[in-house]
Amino acid sequence: MLGRTLREVSTALKQGHITPTELCQKCLSLIKKTKFLNAYITVSEEVALKQAEESEKRYKKGHSLGDLDGIPVAVKDNFSTSSIETTCASNMLKGYVPPYNATVVQKLLDKGAVLMGKTNLDEFAMGSGSTNGVFGPVKNPWSYSKQHREKRKQKAHGENEDSNWLITGGSSGGSVAAAAAFTCFAALGSDTGGLTRNPAPHCGVVGFKPSYGLVSHHGLIPLVNSMDVPGILTRCVDDAAIVLGMLAGHDPKDSTTIQDPVKPFTLPTSADVNKLCTGIPKEYLAPELSSEVRSFWSKAANLFESEGAKVIEVSLPHASYSVVCYHALCTSEVASNMARFDGLEYGHRCDINVSTEAMYAATRWEGFNDVVRGRILSGNFFLLKENYENYFIKAQKVRQLIANDFVNVFNSEVDVLLTPTTLSEAVPYLEFIKEDNRTRSAQDDIFTQAVNMAGLPAVSVPVALSNQGLPIGLQFIGRAFCDQLLLTIAKWFEKQVQFPVIQLQELMDDCSSDFEIEKLSSVSLKQ
């Protein structure tokens, strides 16, 4: 049951094959068994069971709230959740219990979803590994998959398997791992520079970033306000569309959300790519791109062409400036957003009380890690009067140029862009930590950042397994507010590639009855 998609399990709930409480308990027990993944910071067991119970009552009365009623979901620990600790994986917010729900969390709860817990991340979502949070790194469930283990055994015998686990990518690693390890049916991440889409392909799940303004970011503890978008992580594209339908729309608490009413997002079961024009940005053919990813990318392009779509090379001439531009804008907003963490109203406060200034300094020193402090320092440097024109203003202009690149491409005949999501498959932790956070973030977000700067919708879809038996994903980028078309194309593509399901039964023998893995692969891939 746990291995099913959201839509399938929703049907099972409606038909009474399983009750919300049973489903919740199965997820809770799996969360406990997969604790070593470190996907969750807080497991809200009591709340979840209570919500499941209420959902069960509704089902009994025949008053179900819809597709999400009774569905276990997980939420990244940078979304405010009323009466559930929200830490951002930082000492600064350890013990902070918000008095309100983020709009997206409230919307999920209003639709009857069952909140399993808050998922792990890089501190304040600053990172691309989900490795630097104060609660430790998230481990990629694929490290323990049958597919990967078999491949690795063939290559290196006698290697210490336990120390060779892989990272998920970040910063929404906890949400991605939670969805990939079947502990929930959908998870919320946050996507600022690709933080939802970056880890998704590493864990073989769908990572969707909606258009900026389509989904409220009220209650999402900000990284870069002008780019932050709640991201949706699911095991298939259809599920992402269901969740988007629940979350999208104007929020009176977020002035950047669209005013126009939003139509429900239902994807057609069969799509016709005949009249579609797919653009391949030539600048994305980076030298660092792994040959495997490149090969899947071109296979995907061929697939579109063979099905009658037009595939053309396009140019995003300013793409190469995106990394530095992002750095200046991101750190500036970070410096500003982090100013509120002074130990007065909430969060960590040091013991020093010599003066207000000394208290600020010590509190912030103790509360933030090196990465956060480093970004605050750079950001404040860029915002200084003497630097503002040279850095911040220039970066804003470059951001506009990058956004214009996309506008130009979409104003020609292109409907959707097809790009890699990441340079390669997931890397082992020991490999990953050889580089510092800044270098890593700059490397790992190159295909995803530009989309955030332009506010466009994008989705990463898992494609196939690498030689290492690890997932590889590709990204589709759509026109602003054409999220439905984008997801329709992604769904069509997903159906063509038949990505295999993760096989974790070795690890969780006693759960095998819950998984029904063999049956599953036929269920989720052939609709």
**Under rule CB under 8 A, which residues in 171-200 are in contact with other proteins?**
none
State the DSSP H helix or E strand holding residue 18, giving kind and residue range, or none if neither. none
Rounded to whole angstroms, how far apart are CA atoms 120 and 141?
A: 14
The token pair that represents 48 in the structure block: 């979840």
CA angle 80, 82, 87 (to 5 degrees): 45
DSSP result, 95-143? T---SS--HHHHHHHHTT-EEEEEE--SGGG--SSS--STT-PPBPGGG
Strands 114-119 and 186-191: unpaired
Q: Would you give the binding string for other proteins spanning residues 99-118, x where CB under 8 A is met?
A: xx-x----------------
Rounded to whole angstroms, how far apart are CA atoms 473 and 453?
A: 21
CB of 102 to other proteins, least distance (A): 6
Rounded to whole angstroms, how far apart are CA atoms 77 and 173?
A: 11
**Is 464 in a helix, a strand, or coil?**
strand
Is the bond preceding residue 171 a cis peptide, omega within 30 degrees?
yes
CB of 460 to other proteins, least distance (A): 25
**Under rule CB under 8 A, which residues in 280-319 are in contact with other proteins?**
none
Kindly state whether residue 345 participates in binding other proteins, applying the rule CB under 8 A: yes
Q: Among residues 355 and 513, whose Cβ is nearest to other proteins?
A: 355
The token pair that represents 459 in the structure block: 């989705």
Residues 119, 76 contacting (CB under 8 angstroms): yes
Kindly state whether residue 139 participates in binding other proteins, applying the rule CB under 8 A: no
**Under rule CB under 8 A, which residues in 191-250 are in contact with other proteins?**
213, 217-222, 224-226, 250
Residue ranges with strand state E in 325-427: 416-420
**Is 456 in a helix, a strand, or coil?**
coil
Kindly state whether residue 36 participates in binding other proteins, applying the rule CB under 8 A: no
209 assigned to active site: no
Rounded to whole angstroms, how far apart are CA atoms 232 and 244?
A: 7
Q: Among residues 154 and 411, whose Cβ is nearest to other proteins?
A: 411
Q: Among residues 339 and 430, whose Cβ is nearest to other proteins?
A: 339
Kindly state whether residue 254 participates in binding other proteins, applying the rule CB under 8 A: yes
- 252, 261, 274, 434: which one binds other proteins (CB under 8 A): 252
Which residue is catalytic, options 55, 130, 171, 524?
Answer: 171
Rounded to whole angstroms, how far apart are CA atoms 171 and 155?
A: 30
In this chain, which stretch among 44-52, 53-61, 230-238, 345-353 interacts with other proteins, using CB under 8 A? 345-353
Q: Among residues 212 and 284, whose Cβ is nearest to other proteins?
A: 212
Kindly state whether residue 257 participates in binding other proteins, applying the rule CB under 8 A: yes
76 assigned to active site: yes
Q: Would you give the binding string for other proteins spanning residues 354-393, x where CB under 8 A is met?
A: xxxxxxx-------------------x--xxx--x---x-
In this chain, which stretch among 43-51, 137-145, 334-342, 441-449 interacts with other proteins, using CB under 8 A? 334-342
Residue found by looking up tokens 């073989």 in the block: 204
Which residue is catalytic, options 26, 44, 55, 76?
Answer: 76
CA angle 463, 321, 291 (to 5 degrees): 30
CB of 391 to other proteins, least distance (A): 11
Residues forming the active site: 76, 171
What residues make contact with other proteins under the rule CB under 8 A?
79-80, 88, 93, 98-100, 102, 213, 217-222, 224-226, 250, 252-259, 332-333, 335-336, 338-342, 344-346, 352-360, 380, 383-385, 388, 392
